[in-house]
Amino acid sequence: MVGCRFQAKTREIDSIQQQLRDVQSTVSSLENSRGWFERALKDAEKAAEQRGAEHLQEIDRLKAVHAQELEVRVCAACRACSSSRQLLPWLIQLNALLILCRGGRSHIRVRSFINF
């Protein structure tokens, strides 16, 4: 009787030891996988930070280019405005003369120069 109990306990212990080895193997495998995932996550975070920094640099560069283009356009518009404003009194006089010569009709549109 003692022998049967001993054998049953031995089998139970062997079964538990096998389960323990299986669980230890699974834990080891999961730890290795976790390490791989942590390294992959760290690499992905670095790549995302680098891409973010590159995008911010590109945005700053494009803002600078846009500001330069806008400045050129504004300067060109200012030059056009100042030259049109300087011509405006002359065009008004010319328009008055043409109205007199043509019987009340003029081909120069002063409003187009006023509403630029």
Task: Say what the pLDDT of residue 52 is.
Answer: 95
Asked whether 98 and 107 are in contact (CB, 8 A), the reply is yes
What are the CB-based long-range contacts (under 8 Å, 24+) for 106-113?
Answer: 113/84, 113/87, 113/88
Please list the ranges in the chain whose pLDDT falls under 70: 1-3, 74-88, 90-91, 94-116
pTM (2 d.p.): 0.44
pLDDT at 47: 96
Residue 104 pLDDT? 56
Q: Provide the CB-side half-sphere exposure for 37 (13 A, CA).
A: 6
So where are the chain's domains? 2-114
pLDDT tens profile 94-112: 666 666 665 555 454 544 4
The pLDDT score that the predictor gives to residue 105 is 53
Alpha carbon of residue 87 to chain centroid: 46
CA distances from 16 to 3, 12, 110 (A): 20, 6, 102
